[in-house]
Structure 1
């Protein structure tokens, strides 16, 4: 059996043509066949998945569908490492709210996926354990930080997986791996049980093969959670009902003041072609400006490391996780954190600690927060003219391993189009819109109003219907 879309699996299960165990076995077979090359999974719970599938009965929105979770989402009784040596042997005593919601909907968890350590990176090269490969070109990165989840879906090992998005960590790997990646509005999905990187920016969302599948999964994981103080008191909506396939009258915003000089010509051509197809389908194209987004990367790399510095202070060798030997308490702290954290995590902790330190807080962190407000206000003004804003997801297609890992600034600029939506707390989605001549996927990003995922999904789904091509099978399929 080949792993199909979530919708196709649900239809097959409802007709009693297949059982949940059939799909779990199919998923495990695909993992056994392909993951030796792709290395998307850090942990596969084969026996647990089989038991969960056999025990399923009743009804649920995702009843019997196998899936994977990024390894920064806590799973009771199953390793959760955030791809870091400091949590190498950590098994949480509880599960993240999204894991509980998916279990309640009848989803079957098959394993945990690789990522950049503590979600800090854009290539999954910062994992302490292994490098995940792009299923379309195995010598290229899958993007990051949710590269394992994106690669697992692209390679057909699972029909959907969850990732987290702090500055583009769902949308950018979705673009690189040729799948759909959705970052919901901040507060739409509970963050309880997500190992924190930057608490005011992190948001959990799905990777899927189609926009319709993303709507199914969002429906299952969204909703207010009293365990998360930042969870919005928004009702769970029927997101699939918004997928009309029609964009007539929808206003598509095209940003005219972005610096496009670093955008690969093939990416620009594919995105321009996607806009033209939306216009031909009846959408109105409107020019808009986001003048403060040019400062978004600099703003993000002050706010996110500052929050990381605070959040990662808990990994001290005392309460849980790795503990290194030391003759004094201070020596134990130093050795634990030196041995437990990788280079990129240390870099961001130091930047964040510096930005929050006495004498620099006002000059850096406070100014960054003020700029964040201006970026959000730009979006509010833009959405008075349009319903959805369209940009490339990433300035380039996937790059080769090692190409940017020694140049942090070049790596950070990968998220130039995705970061503004995180700073503004807005929903964003990446949909495949083409391939380069060498066969690398290209993603189209759409950003919507806060808590207006219905319009965002409608626009993305309508584009999917008119784009005129299907993503070819990746290289790893042979």
Structure 2
């Protein structure tokens, strides 16, 4: 039997083995959505009719003796910036409601369904992905299942909420500056931001083309690996990933960590953040038997470069909307875009130049280490509506600084697994970034799986 706490790989194994039907797995998911979504506000659309037809087809294939895919019968949902046939691609906005429905599913949706998964709907998010909080003035905030008075994190807030609440065992989000890793940390999930260019972005509403990543969020490292493998592969519709070969990781997931050179990020990553954040990193380091520390050079300036690129390129994408429908934006989002339109062009040029220099310096660091551990967020989930937070005695804006530790990594497209620290009974979750060199997702996933196996990293639906 399965219930709302079951993980994706457990559901798929049960469906393939005939212990449950895909229809029953879907029933559990839809019942959980019905019971919890009114409070938690994760979904903006539930595609139940489509999902039931898909589940029936999987059950028929099983009855006919056909081989089912690795994600057979697994319900999943996607941030509403993914195209879903028949739905307008909202990207968290009021303006996009007027767009015609998508005619086809995004590439990653197609690939997950080809592996047997069942799409159950579209998820709430920060407007146009310019958000770290999970709050949306048009559709309401997605709430943290561990405490519904708290933020889920953003901008993939609905993705984090839906998985942490057990509505679905798997969800897709996007990550430009931390939008998979922040909600994964605040909601207590495993999340994967792949290398920039690894997974196709075709059929998604972009925020910043130079920084956008798509990836999964789940309650186990195994589920991340299964979904990641299902979504890999070249896509002629996305030139960034057109040449990347498939490099499966699921079969290697339990390969262990012997021989891996693991270090903790020092300096910038230790200056700010609540003590419990750094306690989580220290616990991971102890479990991995490393005392080594390294410096990611100029991480603060890397974050600054990401800010400039985000603001200017994001604003340029929305230039016409800002001219004609400025009052239909969230004012906090609109004003940052307007600021981006006014920045001098040489700022953007210099930001890209620095980013190239920074990428080369970090590549040098990875000659000596395989994995870097760093905090995912500077604190646990703030209260909904909270504007300021205190870090090390300094008052800082919440919206801008929940991505304090994720932005320097996004700037250069490194693969990262966020893993939840397990020793948090009765407390709000916190996560740790497991960072690898470009195209080395396997290593980050192996470390996450090892930490999960020994019980230091764990996630469950609440």
Same structural fold, with TM-score higher than 0.5 when normalized by the shorter chain: yes
Q: Distance in 1 between matches of 2:401 and 2:381?
A: 13
1:386-465 to 2 correspondence within 5 Å?
386-404=369-387, 409-434=397-422, 439-465=427-453
| Preserved CA contact (<8 Å) 1:303 1:368 | yes
Q: Distance in 1 between matches of 2:236 and 2:396?
A: 38
Moved more, 135-144 or 342-351: 342-351
Q: Distance in 1 between matches of 2:403 and 2:130?
A: 12
Q: Distance in 2 between matches of 1:118 and 1:55?
A: 35
1:254 is displaced (CA, Å) by 1.4
Report the number of matched residues: 447
1:415 is displaced (CA, Å) by 0.9
| Preserved CA contact (<8 Å) 1:305 1:348 | yes
1:58-457 to 2 correspondence within 5 Å?
58=66, 59-90=68-99, 91-244=101-254, 246-258=256-268, 260-279=270-289, 284-313=290-319, 315=321, 333-334=323-324, 337-355=325-343, 360-362=344-346, 364-404=347-387, 409-434=397-422, 439-457=427-445
Q: Partner residue of 1:322?
A: none
| Preserved CA contact (<8 Å) 1:42 1:114 | yes
1:100 is displaced (CA, Å) by 1.4
Q: Report the CA distance shift for 1:88/1:256 in structure 2 as closer, same or farther (over 3 A).
A: same
Q: Secondary structure at the match of 2:148?
A: coil
Q: Secondary structure at the match of 1:164?
A: strand
Q: Distance in 1 between matches of 2:75 and 2:317?
A: 32
| Preserved CA contact (<8 Å) 1:297 1:413 | no
Q: Distance in 1 between matches of 2:283 and 2:423?
A: 12
Moved more, 290-299 or 39-48: 290-299
1:422 is displaced (CA, Å) by 1.3
CA deviations 1:147-184 (Å, max 9, x no partner) are: 10111000111010000000000011000001101000
1:351 is displaced (CA, Å) by 2.3
| Preserved CA contact (<8 Å) 1:83 1:127 | no
| Preserved CA contact (<8 Å) 1:24 1:53 | yes
Q: Distance in 2 between matches of 1:110 and 1:405?
A: 36
1:308 is displaced (CA, Å) by 0.9
> Which sections of structure 2, spanning at least 5 residues, go unmatched?
390-394
| Preserved CA contact (<8 Å) 2:298 2:358 | yes
Q: Secondary structure at the match of 1:379?
A: helix
1:7-46 to 2 correspondence within 5 Å?
7-46=9-48
| Preserved CA contact (<8 Å) 1:43 1:79 | no
Q: Secondary structure at the match of 2:417?
A: strand
Q: Secondary structure at the match of 2:270?
A: coil
Q: Secondary structure at the match of 1:424?
A: coil
| Preserved CA contact (<8 Å) 1:258 1:294 | yes
Q: Distance in 1 between matches of 2:459 and 2:118?
A: 26
Q: Distance in 2 between matches of 1:348 and 1:93?
A: 32
1:470 is displaced (CA, Å) by 4.3
Moved more, 103-112 or 179-188: 103-112
1:61 is displaced (CA, Å) by 2.5
> Which sections of structure 1, spanning at least 5 residues, go unmatched?
317-332
Q: Distance in 1 between matches of 2:317 and 2:435?
A: 28
1:131 is displaced (CA, Å) by 0.9
CA deviations 1:27-67 (Å, max 9, x no partner) are: 00000011111111011111121112112334323222110
